[in-house]
Amino acid sequence: MTLPSHDAWIHTSHTLLPRWKSLSLPHQQSTLPISISRVNQVDAARLDVEMSAMLKEQLVKVFSLMKPGMLFQYEAELDAFLEFLIWRFSIWVDKPTPGIALMNLRYRDERAVEPRDKVRTGLEGPGLTVAQKLWYCIATVGGQYIWARLQSFSAFRRWGDTEQRPLARRLWILIQRIEGIYRAASFGNLLIFLCTGRYRNLIERALRARLVYGSPNMNRAVSFEYMNRQLVWNEFSEMLLLLLPLLNSSSVKNLLRPFSKDKSLSSAEDGSACPICQATPTIPYVALPCQHRYISL
């Protein structure tokens, strides 16, 4: 067995180094795709819906003293107004919506993101442009309002009836087909979102507005304080529902009668009791002239 020369490792390194660079160069230039939690994105949308419902409930209470049913006629306008307020004070001023902020997310213009030779954390990239913000408002606020009004108007005019004019019937069929195509496209987008984690809905996909992390640090601890308090109140209410029927029984009343402060009531009840068995007669017999009440045998 012959030993290698002293400079053999130097010669070997010079021979293998170009091959190593050729193999590792594509991996260095490729960027690692970021992974945004799909649960956070879905929860952000749900929280925005809940926030809008809370604002709507508070606004409806303002008009509670007005004519009943009047606000129902303008429900579409009310929803559009609330959605516009949320958009105006969040996305338009480069801030996330309440639900997106709670999930530590923000919108990013995916078209302006350039590939880099390092690991992407999801914090890079600028926010939405002015055009993207305006189109987002037109699609979410204006589009939903126009579609809701069109559906209510067509249903009120009964365009779907066979007795209507051919033009109205065709418009009704066209509306149904557009709605079916939109739902099919939304379902396909949902499947793509579950696979890739990008673009929750068709509007975000069309505008290339992607949700990414807003801060590198986020507290993942979940507070169960509200849940525990809710469970305590639920158990307390169930216990009261079980005890209330028992409080109406005569045995409990007799047990609590010595501790009652109303002496006149207790004396009246004592006078109505049978002097022999001390029970309350259902069909009493009154003795004259002492006015004592007895139970018939």
| pLDDT at residue 197 in the model | 87
| C-alpha to C-alpha distances, 44 to 188, 191, 242, nearest whole angstrom | 20, 18, 40
pLDDT digits (tens, 9 = 90+) for 8-25: 767 777 777 777 666 554
| pLDDT at residue 201 in the model | 92
> Contact, 193 vs 185, CB < 8 A?
no
Arithmetic mean of pLDDT over the chain: 77
| C-alpha to C-alpha distances, 119 to 32, 86, 122, 245, nearest whole angstrom | 6, 34, 9, 66
Among 279, 262, 261, smallest CA distance to 270 is for 279
Q: Which residue has the higher pLDDT, 137 or 296?
A: 137
Residue 141: count of CB within 10 angstroms of its CB: 20
Q: Lowest-pLDDT range, 73-82, 95-104, 146-155, 259-268? A: 259-268
What percentage of the chain reaches a pLDDT higher than 70? 64
Sign, Cα dihedral of 259, 264, 270, 272? negative
Q: Lowest-pLDDT range, 103-112, 125-134, 215-224? A: 215-224
> Contact, 94 vs 127, CB < 8 A?
yes
| pLDDT at residue 156 in the model | 80
pLDDT digits (tens, 9 = 90+) for 133-161: 999 999 999 999 999 888 888 888 777 77
> Contact, 82 vs 56, CB < 8 A?
yes
Domain ranges of the chain: 34-113+121-225
Q: List the beta bridge partners of residue 294.
A: 285
pTM over 0.85: no
Q: How far apart are CA 295 and CA 91, in angstroms?
A: 80
With tokens 């499947």, the residue in question is: 191
> Contact, 27 vs 119, CB < 8 A?
no
What number is the average pLDDT over the span 72-82?
Answer: 86
Q: How far apart are CA 276 and CA 296, in angstroms?
A: 11
What number is the average pLDDT over the span 67-83?
Answer: 81
What number is the average pLDDT over the span 229-242?
Answer: 76
| pLDDT at residue 257 in the model | 66
For 65, the 3-state DSSP assignment is: coil
Q: How far apart are CA 127 and CA 106, in angstroms?
A: 8
Question: SS in 3 state form for 185-214?
Answer: HHHHHHHHHHHHCCCCCHHHHHHCEEEEEC
Q: How far apart are CA 80 and CA 273, in angstroms?
A: 68
| Main-chain phi, psi angles of 102, to 5 degrees | -65, -30
> Contact, 250 vs 257, CB < 8 A?
no
pLDDT digits (tens, 9 = 90+) for 17-68: 777 666 554 444 444 566 788 998 999 999 999 888 888 888 877 777 777 6
pLDDT(7) > 60: yes
pLDDT category, 263, cuts 50, 70, 90? very low
Q: How far apart are CA 90 and CA 84, in angstroms?
A: 10
| pLDDT at residue 264 in the model | 45
